[in-house]
Amino acid sequence: MTADLAGKSILITGASRGIGAAAARFCCQAGGQVILHASAPSDAASEVAHSIGQSDDVFLYEDLAREGAGAALVARALEKASSLDGVVNNAGLFTPSPLTGDIENWDRGWSKTMAVNVQAPADICRASIAHFRERKEGGIIVNIASRAGHRGDGVENAAYAASKGAVLAMTKTWARGLAAENILLYAIAPGWVETRMAPKDIEDRKQAVKEIPLGRVAQPEEVASMIGFLLSGASPSATGATFDINGASYVR
């Protein structure tokens, strides 16, 4: 999938690895100027920066579990770029919320998952929308959700599934309410993608692939190409839509 992002400034969260790193590379190859986010400096972040011909300071570091971090990140991005055309809410957390065992683990799982997967992207959307309205040229937000937001997940992972369902709901809500202002929002709901979250245990891996009619998990580049296409503004009438990338393992 091709995209023309020439002249567009794009903030991508969770860009030190996986889907975010692939999106950074795709957007740069398509001519975009990227501002990247990670939770903390790392060798992985440096590798991504160098792979797109940038220094490490292309990254902004924010712990999105911290209150107010989402809004702070957008403010810092605007100091760097002066204007944003697109935002990709990719950063996310997969922490179990076990039904049995210690109540502290249950509370911690829900609290941190909601902070990183719902509150932070909501705050990023809010700050980005305010910026898009101020400059009066519109803008595009792509929120990375999950297949789990539609069909649910394992019994110990209700917090993760609920968080991704919330991402889908807020994407639809703001897409409906803001389309007249040329502020467009899309969601992408991947199934298993070849990232750190994909099953590594041999038997778990076999089971995961077994339920995918395509016969394999998706590659991060497949998601990145969809992100780039949506950021290009090539299909405004698709605003509010969710794009499933799961090898037909869940068909709505």
Contact call for residues 223 and 23 (beta carbons, < 8 A): yes
Between CA 150 and CA 208 the distance in angstroms is 17
Query: Is residue 160 among the annotated active site residues?
Result: yes
Which of 61, 160, 186, 250 is the catalytic position?
160
Check the CA dihedral 55-57-63-67 and report its sign: negative
Residue 4 in tokens: 């023309």
Tell me the residue type at 153: D
Length of the chain equals 252
**Residue recorded with tokens 């937000």:** 141
Residue 176 in tokens: 């409906």
Helices (H) and strands (E) in the chain, counts: 9, 7
Q: Which of 241, 157, 143, 153 is nearest to 191 (CA)?
A: 153
Q: Residue 110, Cβ neighbours under 10 Å: how many?
A: 17
Point out the residues that are catalytic. 160
